[in-house]
Amino acid sequence: MTHEDVQVVAACDVDRNHRMRAKRIIDTHYGTADCAVYNDFREVLARDDIDMVLIATPDHWHALLAIETARAGKDMYCEKPISLTIAEGRAVVEAMKRYRRVYQSGTQRRSIGCFRFAVDVARNGMIGRLHTLHTYLSEGPSCGVEAPRPVPEGFDYDMWLGPAPYEPYTPKRCHGTFRWILDYSGGKLTDIGAHFNDLAQWGNNSDLGGPIHYEGHAEFPREGLWNTPMHYRVEATYSDGVKLIYHDTSPRAAKFEGDEGWIMVDDDGNVDAEPKSILRTKRIVKQSYAYWQGHHRDFLDCVKRRDPKTIAAPEIAQRSTTTCHIGNLCLRLDRPLRWDLDKERFVDDEVANTMLARAMRAPWRL
């Protein structure tokens, strides 16, 4: 809404309280009462006067909504991660090509100067040849057993579940805490890893590729509703021997290590490096991850130019999110995995290959 060349005309949410709050914010901004509200996304996509859609749902809806939006002839800014599974992500990439749509993944750190500075230092050889990339994603939470509760009035819980398996309602299953349940997300690896593994891939000049070998270990909740990793370490190796290591520690950050130095940036926008002379090569404006303007602007400009090459285009999002998904599969299976980048399949591991996609609850399908 802060961009003068865009007008928000509708809000859609399966929670009445959320969509009415969105309407109040939008109407207050424009000084009108014109914002339409919807419970069902299909009514939004049916409108001919809507050009672009912002998708900010739980992860298990991302791919399905992106593909339906493309079919409806609309461009989209979609929150990360691109998908719940690797197969879904590939389907999104192909749909954007087929329908010639502009897609921006919500990995906004790509458009924030201090994060880009660290990436540029790594990409341009200022710390020598890279040998190790570190991403610090913080530890995952746990909770106890949650008893089923009545669905709140005004909350379309069946639509919220959508393609996910049916489970009884409890508040900690939905809204912000869906991230800690594997039916809907991938925990810290896809929540924060979608950002920092993306930066690591970019800094390594491999954002259209990825590692080919993964190994790691994790501690999962022993009981309760949430079931994503709490404590974990994943080590992924690229074909040239560069390693990408995911840590469960804070602050959330990315660090690039080369044979002539290192550089690190955290989520508050703090940048440190060795040698310190690197920090004097450019004035660094400290901005936290919450600065969105540049990322939105890049998307809007690409829409106007009909340019699919946004700074976080679908193929880039697919490859970086794949590192997160494989990390989770490696931890869940508790064994090393080898990955074929071209075929997007595991090597000599048919059990792991069965986990590349998931069945969807009827009537939903890609």
Rounded to whole angstroms, what are the CA distances from 354 to 82, 84, 161, 341, 346?
A: 20, 14, 22, 17, 10
Question: Are 145 and 256 members of one domain?
Answer: yes
Question: Are 119 and 57 members of one domain?
Answer: no
Q: What are 187-244's pLDDT values in tens digits? A: 999 999 999 999 999 999 999 999 999 999 999 999 999 999 999 999 999 999 999 9
Question: Are 99 and 130 members of one domain?
Answer: no
Question: Of 82, 108, 134, which residue sits at a domain end?
Answer: 108
Interval 273-302 mean pLDDT: 85
> 144: buried, middle or exposed (CB in 10 Å: 19+, 13-18, 0-12)?
exposed
Examine residue 293 and state whether it is found in any structural domain, yes or no: no
Question: Are 122 and 210 members of one domain?
Answer: yes
pLDDT of residue 282: 80
Question: Are 172 and 245 members of one domain?
Answer: yes
What's the domain range around 77? 10-108
CATH for 139: 3.30.360.10
Total domains, the chain: 2
Examine residue 166 and state whether it is found in any structural domain, yes or no: yes
Question: Are 267 and 195 members of one domain?
Answer: yes
* Tokens describing residue 213: 């070998």
1 — pLDDT class (breaks 50, 70, 90): confident
Burial 103-138 (b: 16+ CB within 10 A, else e): bbbbbbbbbbbbbbbbbbbbeeebbeebebbbbbbb
Nearest to 187 by CA among 331, 316, 337, 302: 331
71 — pLDDT class (breaks 50, 70, 90): very high
Question: Are 123 and 265 members of one domain?
Answer: yes
pLDDT of residue 284: 77
Examine residue 40 and state whether it is found in any structural domain, yes or no: yes
Question: Of 108, 123, 158, which residue sits at a domain end?
Answer: 108
Question: Are 46 and 166 members of one domain?
Answer: no
Cβ atoms 201, 207 nearer than 8 A: yes
Rounded to whole angstroms, what are the CA distances from 350 to 55, 245, 318, 319, 354?
A: 33, 25, 21, 21, 6
Q: What are 127-169's pLDDT values in tens digits? A: 999 999 999 999 999 999 999 999 999 999 999 999 999 999 9
283 — pLDDT class (breaks 50, 70, 90): confident
CA dist., res. 172 & res. 149, Å (int): 10
CATH for 56: 3.40.50.720
Question: Of 92, 108, 124, which residue sits at a domain end?
Answer: 108
Question: Are 98 and 125 members of one domain?
Answer: no
Question: Are 95 and 159 members of one domain?
Answer: no
Examine residue 225 and state whether it is found in any structural domain, yes or no: yes
Q: Mean pLDDT lowest for which of 75-84, 290-299, 318-327, 337-346? A: 290-299
Amino acid found at 203: G
Task: Read off the pTM.
Answer: 0.96
288 — pLDDT class (breaks 50, 70, 90): low
Examine residue 298 and state whether it is found in any structural domain, yes or no: no
Examine residue 359 and state whether it is found in any structural domain, yes or no: no
Assess whether pLDDT exceeds 90 at residue 287.
Answer: no
* Tokens describing residue 144: 């106890």
Examine residue 276 and state whether it is found in any structural domain, yes or no: yes
Question: Are 93 and 223 members of one domain?
Answer: no
Question: Are 164 and 96 members of one domain?
Answer: no
* Tokens describing residue 48: 């001919």
Examine residue 364 and state whether it is found in any structural domain, yes or no: no
Assess whether pLDDT exceeds 90 at residue 292.
Answer: no
Rg (CA), the chain: 21
291 — pLDDT class (breaks 50, 70, 90): low
Interval 248-271 mean pLDDT: 97
